[in-house]
Structure 1
Amino acid sequence: MVVTALVGAEGAAAHAIVVSATPTDGVVVAAAPRGAVITFDSGVRVGPRNAAIRNDGTSVIGGPARITDGRTLVIPFRTNLGQGNFTVRWSVVSQDGHEEEGLIAFGVGRSATTPFATLTTSPTVTWERVVMRWLFLAGTLLAAGLAIFAVVVLRPLQREHQLARPLANGAFLGLALAFVGADALAHAKGVGGTRFELWVSCATIVAGAGAAAAALAPRLPALRYGAYGAGVALLAAPTLSGHALDSSQAAVLSPVADVLHLGAAALWIGGLGGLAMTLPRVDPSSRAAIVRRFGAIAGPALIVLVAAGASRALTELASVSQLWSTPYGRTLIAKSALLTSALIVGTFARRRLASGGRPRRLIGVELGLLAIVVLAAGILTDLQPGRAGARHATPSNAPSLLDIPVPPPANAYVDAQELGPYAVALAFDGSRAQVTVAGSDGTAPADITVLLDGKPATACGRGCYSTVIHGTRLQVTINGTPLTFTLPGELISGSDLLRATTLAYQALRTVTVRESLASLANNAQITVFREQAPDRFGYEITAAADRSIVGTSGVVLGKERWDRIAHGAWTHTTQSSPVVPFADWTAAARNIYEADDGTITFYDPSFPAWFRLRIDPTTHLPSELHMVGAAHFMTHSYSAFNEPISLSAPS
């Protein structure tokens, strides 16, 4: 059974394999990531079903998914995710046209429970795709096999010209099937721009031209050679569009074995079709000669079929046990059992032919079994090969909650600044200062030297340093680079002012927000948001270190969303309706104190992040917000309160 299973390995098509993912599935991270980053072992394109949600169903996707370096999918999140559980569904199309999906469930912060996915994925095998592939493969094998049968079997016996009409009719049937299947596959959703689309589109043209030649061959007999050539040329399409050219495959062995396997299968299937169409039309002596010549060729072809299939199986299976432990292996066994049955039926048919009989029924049964074998091959192309399934995504270095710097104590004045990749936060209770340092991953960096007012700091926990305060300023020096905090003369609560500002802001009809978001001092991204209550907004990236995304924009009208990258084509998706305007802080904000007239500072553990908010004392509306978090340094400038805004669907 192992040997026969190896025979059936033809047709496996490449699946892009995840080699790394951040965040990893099931992880609870300290700080909210800016997006999901999934890297594959080969080239991919953005699929149609990328999504990111909070597990209550609220969309948190912050823009259109994009591909970087050809094989890394980036799904951006909205800023300020807060704590909780989230689910990401990634969707890509591999270079051989496979639409693939996966799920990542992760949590953020101490309030997260054990992460679990609340989105679902679509099945990798659909009957629509299987039927498309069956039409393409069956038509290709029939057309190519008839061409080989005509040239290698009939022509040396000087019977090809006599049987030109039935051969042309058979070639037309095969090429027409291949044309319909290839055209459907080339226009399948999501395959645009892939290697699969390129070669299947070429196959569509070749099959269409060949079918036209076969249709005209009864009037212009020479055109049958064009149909033969088209059939043989189609044999290259499954190899050029499929798994054999994947980067993980042997550069020479895989494509050569693939073509040989397809050619041998074509000779078997097309040869049987040729026998069924030609034998009733010739005399007994010619019939015997055709059977003998086909038998002499079919034996070596069967050896090639087994050898090429075995070499392909060796590249698809990581172990023999995967024959029964994976869907791919079990389908391979079923296909091999059908092939074995067809071989047994074919042996009886050839014996009856050799004795002068006419085993039409046996040939029909054999062709029927082989048609089911091709159907199984169509299923195999959409299943993940065993070797691919044996490879796992490498874990990311996600921070443990045990590594998160300690939060500020209650009732302390807080402030924060960025220093290179570090978020440096201050907590001051009137006599003693506590300084917290968080790295870009949200954890306490272990390789830094911290001085407070020029003196070695006293450790007070993870990433925590403290000192007694003797004035109204504190200089913090990290690895030789200083920054200064100004301390209030007295602690004055700003809770009422923040509450009034939250209510005033969220009661606005319209507002424009200019956002500067960075993880370092030199990589800020500027985005302008125009928001219209209750559920409409537009955005545009006006500046970024990565100039390729400048011009990226979007419009959200309730549940309808349109996004485009850098003035490209619009992509339409649906989502849960947003609520705008909505404050960038949450009700969990604490340590709320006045820093000076019209400015308050506070800490929000939902992110976690430190905020400095400047407020108009007359309107209680915010004018500027500065947020410092792990790898998140954000500034919001607010303007155009209640001024008219026009938002509409892109035309």
Structure 2
Amino acid sequence: MFPKASRNGDLGRIVAAARSVSLRLVSRLLILLFGLAFSLGSPAAVAAHAELLLASPAPGTGLAQAPAAVVIKFSEPLNLTLSRIQVLDASGIDVGQGPTLEVPGDAEAMRRPLGLLPTGPYVVRWTSVSSLDGHTLQGSYSFAVGTAASPETTIADSPLDSEGPIGLVGRFAALVALGAWLASGLLRGVSVRAGLDPSKTARLGRAAPAIAFGGTIVSLLSAAFVATGSLAAIGGVLASPSGEARVVVLATSAIGVLVGARWRAVTILLAAAAILADAASGHAASSALPAVGMISVSVHLGAVGVWSYAIAASLLAAPDLRRALGTFTPYAVAAGVVVAGTGIVNAILELANPADLVETGYGLVLLAKSAAFVAMASLGLLHFLWRRRPRVPEAVVRRPLRVEAVVATVALVLATLLVGFPNPPREAGATADELTTTDPVLAELGDRDALSVADASGPFVVGLTILPPKPGSAEIRVQVLGVDPGDGLRNARVTGSSGSATVDVPLEGACGLGCFTGDASFAAAGDWRLEVQIDSNRGPISIAETVPLPTPDGSLALSRALTAQEGLKSALMTERLSGSVGGPTYDTTFRFQAPDKAEFSLKDSTTIFIGPTRYERTGSGPWQSSPPAPPGFTWPTGYYREFWGAMAAPRLLGAETVDGVPTQVIAFLRPDVPAWFRIWVGVADGLVRREDMRAEGHIMDHDYSDLNGPITVTPPK
């Protein structure tokens, strides 16, 4: 036996230690929680995309001409009622044509058609709503026509961005209520043995489904508002698989309110069904193993509910704390073990690799939630030990229990944040590096012995690359532009002949979207007629090209042409532009005067560039002036270098006569677009008489005349 003073001193130290531990734990956990919420609450600029798999045009791309459409592919099926694409010009005006459309055959992609866009930068703003888990993801990136584009891309992918603050509150209320509802049914008899008033347990059994119903309604309305800015879009939210699962939550919760706590078995079945439906509406449905994920998440939430119920019931409702803790502890310990096990399973299903725990926001929140559960277990052990010491007052035993309740609340808030994340790392695992928009070898052609030519077929542009372009063994690469992911390109092959020699190459290798490779053997030198044939869901694709093998290098001829073009004083150019073979054609007349003047007319619109000023007029309306896109307009200096770009793989295709002028035909590639050029250059003077360009959505032909003729461009009066 200890002296009384010594016992009192021990108890005083225990009380002081408990109070100190309580305050430190509560303050640190709250600081951690608010820090995480703040750090995860705003969009960040990123260098590469995780959730967004494919964008065409690609982010940061400067195009020679505008694309026919913006196409974006994601990692999950889209709810197209709520998903959308906006394409904004420098004035913030949406230049898209019509609504956002589906991509036939691909539920994970959407497209927005474009008209003819003038030179300048454009911003693509997109909103995607997953039909699997209902999460909203928003982002933006830039591309440009005829100028450089900003490489910055933003993705607003925090829980606050996806759910909205009110939606997160609704999610939190629903999660807590669903867990409490199930626990009140499972532990009804245990609660009686622990000394709880049965009427209080019955009231909880009635209130929990009502709170779950209300929280789910709030989160659904918030999802509609976040995605579209209008509550009227709630029908689109409910029409998706995720929305249908949450309708089940609403239905079971409503029945639970009506049934109340009359029948324990019915309460357990309804609560379990609601929890399973809630799991089916979230990340588990899009995990690597959906069935396993939904069961694991459901059991996890149920176990958390039992653990939290045991803490709250002991702390708030039990008249005899020691009796309640002694009764609930075995169930709380079992629930804690289940929480740990299912938490590991959920992490394996959601994380792509262990590094995601520290490199992603989702992983950091998961670590914080795990730390909270470890703290709960430690505090549970502490009050378990103190409860078994009769000399420790009940007030002292109650303190770690209170802290455990606070930590449990923090854990549930963190669980709500995890539910609110649009894409856990494994769902976002496929990146743009794994699904390229064009053949990566095109970017290397400046350093390769290659020939690359292209032509149009229907809505597609087909590029044919031969490495090396000479008799013998060669690699054949075909890139099809204008492909939607649902086009189902297949059976690609190249056939050709030169005299009696033939070649038939099945293109069985894949190198990206619409990209095929194969190996050929050209038996003889000469002019080869090559035909590319591909089947697609939009009909057959076919182009034919005649090329000499070996193909002479055209670097010197192209350099001479560039020098000659930059020495021009004036020129008249007519342009024929269409988005597809057989599609509408737009004819534009350009009048150039060195060093910084141009006038071009398209239908009833006229644009004039005079140095740093651009004038525009439609019909007979007034002229409007504005500065052109930096660095301003110049011609011919800089004009052709910017338009032709890197001018990779220049090759001489032969000789032709254009308007009575003998010319050399030079083919080259601008790889960053990509755009294939073919120019007809005067043998005598090196000036371009004709120019063809083939790029996605752009079949463009230029004819030049009045070179150095009497052309004058003046500002409008």
TM-score of the superposition, structure 1-length normalised? 0.57
Instruction: Give the alignment partner of residue 367 of structure 1, picking from 405, 425, 436.
Output: 405
Structure 1 equivalent of residue 361 of structure 2:
327
1:86 to 112, 122, 129: 122
Q: 1:122 to 1:320 in 2, by over 3 A?
A: closer
In the alignment, structure 1 residue 240 sits paired with structure 2 residue 280: yes
Aligned counterpart in structure 2 of residue 304 of structure 1, from 338, 342, 350: 338
Q: Does 1:385 align with 2:424?
A: yes
One-letter amino acid matched to 2:99: P
- 1:265-312 CA-to-partner distances (Å, cap 9, x unmatched) read 1110122233345421xxx6xx76654342222222221111111111
1:53 equivalent in structure 2: 88
Query: Which position in structure 1 is the counterpart of 2:52?
Result: 18
Looking at structure 2, the residues matched to 579 and 52 of structure 1 have their Cα atoms a distance apart, in angstroms, of: 23
Q: After superposition, where does 1:346-495 map in structure 2 within 5 Å?
A: 346-354=380-388, 355=390, 357=394, 359-383=397-421, 384-393=423-432, 394-397=435-438, 441=481, 478=545
One-letter amino acid of the counterpart of residue 188, structure 2: A
Q: How does 1:601-620 map to 2 (within 5 A)?
A: none
| Contact 1:141/1:266 (8 A) holds in 2 | yes
SS in 2 for 1:75: strand
Match of 1:103?
140
Moved more, 395-404 or 376-385: 395-404
Partner amino acid for 2:278?
P
Q: What is the CA distance between 1:630 and its match in structure 2? A: 4.4
Aligned Cα root-mean-square deviation (Å): 5.1
Cα distance in 1 for residues equivalent to 2:371 and 2:240 = 34
Give the counterpart letter for 1:146 in structure 2.
Answer: S
Contact 1:103/1:120, CA 8 A, preserved across alignment? yes
CA 386–477 in structure 1, closer or farther in 2 if over 3 Å, else same: closer
**Pair 275,79 (structure 1): closer, same or farther in 2 beyond 3 Å:** same
Partner residue of 1:72 out of 108, 128, 136: 108
Q: 1:332 to 1:72 in 2, by over 3 A?
A: closer
* Aligned: 1:202 with 2:248: yes
SS of the aligned residue for 1:320 comes to: coil
- Cα 1:261–1:497 change in 2 (3 A) is closer
C-alpha distance in 2 between matches for 1:38 and 1:192: 24
Distance 1:631 1:305, change over 3 A: closer
Cα pair distance change 1:314/1:301, threshold 3 Å:
same
Structure 1 vs Structure 2: percent identity of aligned residues?
20
Aligned to 1:266: 305
SS at match of 2:134: coil
Matched letter for residue 296 of structure 2: A
In structure 2, how many angstroms separate the alpha carbons of the residues matched to 1:336 and 1:348? 18
Query: Is structure 2 residue 209 aligned with structure 1 residue 170?
Result: no
Q: Report the 3-state secondary structure (helix = DSSP H, G, I; strand = E; otherwise coil) of the residue aligned with 1:341.
A: helix
1:317 alignment counterpart: 351
- Of 137, 150, 157, 2:188 maps to 150
Q: Secondary structure at the match of 2:137?
A: strand
Structure 1 stretches lacking a partner, 5+ long: 1-7, 9-14, 408-415, 425-437, 452-457, 460-475, 481-494, 500-514, 527-577, 596-604, 611-626, 636-651
* 1:130-168 Cα deviation digits (max 9, x unpaired): 2221111111112222222115x247x5978xx331002
Contact kept, 8 Å, 1:66 with 1:73, in 2: the verdict is no
Cα distance in structure 2, aligned partners of 1:363 and 1:49? 49
Q: Which amino acid aligns with 1:397?
A: T
Cα distance in 2 between the residues matched to 1:264 and 1:497: 75
Q: CA deviation at 1:185?
A: 1.9
Residue in 2 that maps onto 1:140: 178
What is the Cα deviation at residue 100 of structure 1?
Answer: 0.7
Query: Distance in 2 between the 1:139 and 1:417 partners?
Result: 60
Offset, 1:373: 0.9
Q: Which amino acid aligns with 2:382?
A: F
Instruction: Quote how far apart the aligned CAs of 1:178 are.
Output: 1.4
- Aligned pair in 2 of structure 1 residues 272, 234: CA closer, same or farther (>3 Å)? farther
Partner AA of 1:64 in structure 2: P
- Paired residue total: 449
Deviation at 1:319, TM superposition (A): 3.0
CA distance in 2, matches of 1:419, 1:208: 55
CA contact (8 A) 2:194 2:327 kept: no
Provide Cα deviations, 1:28-81, integer angstroms capped at 9, x if missing partner: 445532222222332112345521123453433122112333533333232223
Amino acid at match of 1:271: A
- Name the SS of the counterpart of 1:63 in structure 2: coil
What does 1:2-13 align with in structure 2 at a 5 Å threshold?
none
Tell me if the contact between 2:75 and 2:428 (Cα under 8 Å) persists in the aligned partners.
no
Ranges in structure 2 where 5+ consecutive residues have no aligned partner: 1-32, 34-48, 228-236, 464-477, 483-492, 500-525, 528-542, 548-570, 586-615, 622-632, 640-658, 660-669, 679-691, 701-717
Cα distance in structure 2, aligned partners of 1:390 and 1:582: 55
Q: Structure 2 counterpart of 1:381, which letter? A: V
* Contact 2:65–2:698 (8 Å) recurs in 1: no
State the SS of the aligned residue for 2:115. Answer: coil
Q: Is the 2:76–2:108 contact (alpha carbons within 8 Å) kept by the matching residues of 1?
A: no
Relative to 1, partners in 2 of residues 1:609 and 1:101: Cα closer, same or farther, differing over 3 Å? farther
Question: Secondary structure of the residue that 1:91 maps to in structure 2?
Answer: strand
Q: Distance in 1 between matches of 2:620 and 2:297?
A: 58
Closer, same or farther: CA 579–361 of 1 in aligned 2, 3 Å: farther
Contact 2:352–2:425, Cα closer than 8 Å, also in 1: yes
Task: Give distance in 1, aligned partners of 2:254 and 2:617.
Answer: 53
Give the 3 Å change call, closer, same or farther, for CA 579–352 of structure 1 in structure 2.
Answer: farther
Letter in 2 for 1:101: Q
CA distance, structure 2, for counterparts of residue 633 and residue 326 of structure 1: 40
Give the match for residue 511 of structure 1.
none
Contact 1:518–1:634 (CA under 8 A) maintained in structure 2: yes
Alignment of 1:558-569 (within 5 A): none
What SS does the aligned partner of 2:352 have? coil
Report the residue type matching 2:92 in the other structure.
Answer: G
The one-letter code matched in structure 1 to 2:283 is H
Q: Which amino acid aligns with 1:67?
A: E
Task: Say whether the 8 Å CA contact 1:210–1:227 is kept in structure 2.
Answer: yes
Which residue does 2:27 correspond to in 1?
none
Question: Which deviates the most, 141-150 or 271-280?
Answer: 271-280
Quick one: distance in 2 between partners of 1:83 and 1:335?
A: 50
> Distance between the aligned counterparts of 1:225 and 1:193, measured in 2?
31
Could you tell me how far apart the structure 1 residues matched to 2:184 and 2:431 are?
A: 43
37 and 342 in structure 1: CA distance in 2 versus 1, 3 angstrom threshold: same
Counterpart-to-counterpart distance in 2, 1:446 and 1:29: 28
Distance in 1 (CA, whole Å) between partners of 2:620 and 2:579 is 18
